[in-house]
Each structure stands twice: as structure tokens, then as C-alpha cells.
Amino acid sequence: MNILLMGLDSRKDQQGNDLPQAVLDKLHAGDSSVGGYNTNTLILIHVAPDNRAVAFSIPRDDYVPFDGVPGYQHIKIKEAYGLTKAHAEQTLVEQGVTDQSTLEADGREAGRAATLNVVRNLVGVPIDYFAEVSLSGFYDLASTLGGVDVCLNHPVQDDFSGIDLPAGPQRLDAAQSLAFVRQRHGLDNGDLDRTHRQQAFLISVMHQLQQAGTFADLGTMNKMISIARNDIVFSSGWTAEMFRRIGGLVGGNVVLRTLPVARYDTIAGQDVNIVEPTRIRAEVRAAFAGSASAAVATAGPASTVDVVDAGHAPEVAAVVSRQLAGNGYHVDRSTQVTTGDDSTVVAYGPDAEADASDIAVLLGTIPTRADPSLAPAAVRVILGQGYHPTSQADRMGAVATQDGSAAPTGSVEPSPDSGAALDGSQVPCVN
């Protein structure tokens, strides 16, 4: 089974009410105007039939295709929830809905659905269940645990998150725990170091619950589940047996990783992570191999691609065909020459929009369009006059102008250990 954990950076409760300022002060989280509804934590966990597990943290600034809200073509993945929630609520208001609880509930449901959709499109595997926790929910759960053990490589101090801790092993209270998983300022790898913090925290919690016998004692486990349901939104299908199975994940059978980032960049003044969807899907498929839920993705992208030379440059079509084939697409290079409009475009049939969007990013600043004449899962790349295959670096930067925003400025490679895997055999020391 595949489970998506979502950490919502909202200063509001489940009904949309502002959290009391006393609570916000304890969380060191500013006021309700901060944070919005960003999913600043996204972790996809795969549990195999033999109870081995692998989890991938999804960096919140990954720059991904998005068409759920008018006016957007690409966003940071963390923004899907909040943008969709606001759009859904505005649509309901225009339809005459005025009840705030209805607007909040329906808006959040739309935000969750959008988040599941962008994550599925990025990783290429289905998601069976999800769980969503807010800042206040995280604090309450950490309080219930009575403290969590962590280990830091260096002393840390950060006014934004409120963290102020020495190096080495130590036990954190609830407020310190929240600061520990939220800090990103002052870390060598920013958000990528923060994902390691979150992974280390999960490992520590699992060790603590197992040592306390929480999952072995039905009464204790049911009490913990009851507490969790007060603070966490669960998708349908969560059962006591699911919790017990997750509780059985131990030691080296658990590996926590981070989705690869090609490079950091700046687009329209915003820091983003440029990613390669085909590489991400390949890594996820390889990690999830052997499970029924991943079987649908083991053969690579589902779409077949027809490369059409409309610019009288067959050598260009040949280069593009090799480029697409090297990224796992099934390519049928055609020598067909179209007449009339010879613009460069990626056309797609039913069920092929996600692959078309990825191909457009891969090949450069190419628009996409639906073509009802194409078969399901079919993509047609029409190469018009003036199109030139771009270098890998150019292709990675091309996403910047897909939605008309400014071109990227600067380019920084993540350090080699920014995505290093952690295993669950012991609580790791992290930055």
C-alpha cells in the first residue's frame, strides 16, 4: 500500500478558525496570516507485502505542472492545496454558498484531491491512503508522546522556527519537536536538510512507540488511534489492522529517502527546485518494485509518442526521438510533414495530458494542446520550423517560461548528501 503523509502549514483549526494566539506563541508560528494552506511536508510511504517499507520525502519547492486553477501552468508542489482550496471556495461563493463551515470543508477536500493528483503525476504510482496533520495537530501528538529523542550534528539556533538546541543526542518536548521539523533557515541544504529532520523524527517516533509496546497492546493502540483521529484527517480505509501493520515496521526494513532535485533555481523571484519527472518515476518504481501497487508503473511512461517533422528538418526529429526514447517513452518517429500551421507543439489524446506536460518540459518551451483525433494515451510532438533540440541544462531551465514567468536566474546544485537515504535501524544524527 502507498500512503501519503501531508503536513499542512496552517495556523487554523479544522473548522477554519484562527488558533488562539497563546497556542501560536507556544508553536512559535506567528499569527493566522502566516503559512496559508501550504503542504510543507509531503512523504510518500510504500509498505510491501513482506512489511518492508520505503518512504520518499517530496521537497516542498519542487516545480511541477499544474492545471487545476485558471492562470497557472506550473507551481511549487506545496501550493496545490491552498490554490485549489481558495479557487473551490470562490466558485462556491459565486454559486451562492455562504456557510463558512461548508466553504472550509469543501475547500479542504478540493485541496486534498489536488495534492494527491500532483503527487501522483510526479511520482507515477497510485496513492491508496492519506493522512493530513496541521501544526497544532503535530504539537498535540508530540505532547501525547511525552517527548521525542533526536540527534543533531551541530548546535542550531534559528529565530524563525524558534529552535535553540545543542549538538548531540537529546530529548525534545512538543514545542522543540515542532521547531526541529520546521527549521530550514541556517541549514546547509535548506529544505532538503529539513526533510532529513522530518525523516529522523518519524524514525524516532516509531522506535518510541514500539519500545512502549503501543502496537502490541490493543487497548493502548486504540487509545493512541483515538487521540490521532482528533488531530489528523484520515482518508477512508484506515483500520486498526493498518495501524498495527505500520507499527510492525522496524529497523533496517525501513528506508527513508528524498526525491532527487536536479538543481535549485529562481523563477519570478521565487526559489524553486527543478526536477526531472522521468528520473523521479524511475527511482520510485525501482524502490517500490515487487509490489502489486507499483506494477502499473514498471514499464515506464504509459504514452506512445509520435514525432512529426513539420519544419523540414528530419535530423532534428531524429535527435528528439532519441531524447524521448532515452527517457523511457515508446517513440514512433514519423517523416510526415504537416501543412498550414507548422508551430512546434505537443498534442495529446485522452489520458495522456500528464505525459504531454512532462515531454513539453523535457524538450523546452513547448506549448501543449488536447487533440481529440489522437488515440487514448497517445502524444504527438510536432516540430515546427526554428525548433532546435536543447541541451540538458537548457531543458531543465525551460520550465521557467512555460507559464510566461521570468527566466531562471542562478543555478545551484544540491550537495551530494542532500538526498542521502536514512534507515530505521537507529535514530540518526542530522544537520
For residue 152, give the C-alpha cell.
543533531
Q: Highest mean pLDDT: which of 79-93, 355-369, 391-405?
A: 79-93
Looking at residue 51, its pLDDT comes to: 82
Q: What is the CATH number of the domain that holds 348?
A: 3.30.70.2390
- Kindly list the distances between the CA atom of residue 390 and the CA atoms of 60, 363, 377, in Å, as whole numbers in the listed order: 27, 7, 25
The model's pLDDT over 140-194, given as tens digits with 9 standing for 90+, comes to 888 888 889 999 999 999 888 888 999 999 999 988 988 898 888 888 777 788 8
Q: Would you state the pLDDT for residue 394? A: 36
Residues 181, 293, single domain; the answer is yes
146, 265: one domain = yes
Instruction: Please determine, for residue 341, whether its predicted confidence score (pLDDT) is greater than 70.
Output: no
Establish if 406 belongs to a structural domain.
no
**Does residue 232 share a domain with residue 379?**
no
| C-alpha distance from residue 180 to each of 156, 160, 174, 205, 275 (Å) | 9, 11, 10, 14, 26
What is the average pLDDT value for the chain, to the nearest integer? 80
Q: pLDDT tens digit string along 263-276?
A: 888 888 888 988 88
Tell me, yes or no, whether 118 and 231 share the same domain: yes
* Predicted local confidence at residue 222, as pLDDT: 80
Residue 423 Ramachandran class (φ > 0 left, ψ -120 to 50 alpha, else beta): beta
Residue 318: its pLDDT value, please? 83
Q: Could you tell me the CATH number of the domain that includes residue 190?
A: 3.40.630.190
86 has a pLDDT exceeding 60:
yes
Quote the pTM value.
0.71
Would you say residue 68 lies in a domain?
yes
Question: Range of 234's domain?
Answer: 2-297+414-430
Answer yes or no: do 314 and 420 share one domain. Answer: no
pLDDT reading at 407 higher than 90: no
**Over 60: is that where the pLDDT of 390 sits?**
no
Q: Which residue has the higher pLDDT, 207 or 410?
A: 207
Task: Report the DSSP beta bridge partners of residue 56.
Answer: 44, 257
Residues 66 and 208 in one domain: yes
Condensed to tens digits (0 to 9), the pLDDT of residues 299-328 reads 456 678 999 888 777 788 888 888 787 666
Nearest-angstrom CA–CA distance, 169 and 427: 9
409 in a structural domain: no
**pLDDT (0 to 100) of residue 398:** 35
Measured at the CA of 416, the angle between CA 5 and CA 250, to 5 degrees, comes to: 40
Q: Which residue has the higher pLDDT, 355 or 77?
A: 77
Domain tally for the chain?
A: 2
Percent of the chain whose predicted confidence (pLDDT) is above 90: 26
pLDDT band at 296 (very low <50, low <70, confident <90, very high): very low
Q: Please check the confidence at residue 409 and state whether its pLDDT lies above 50.
A: no
What confidence category does residue 393 fall into, taking pLDDT thresholds of 50, 70 and 90? very low
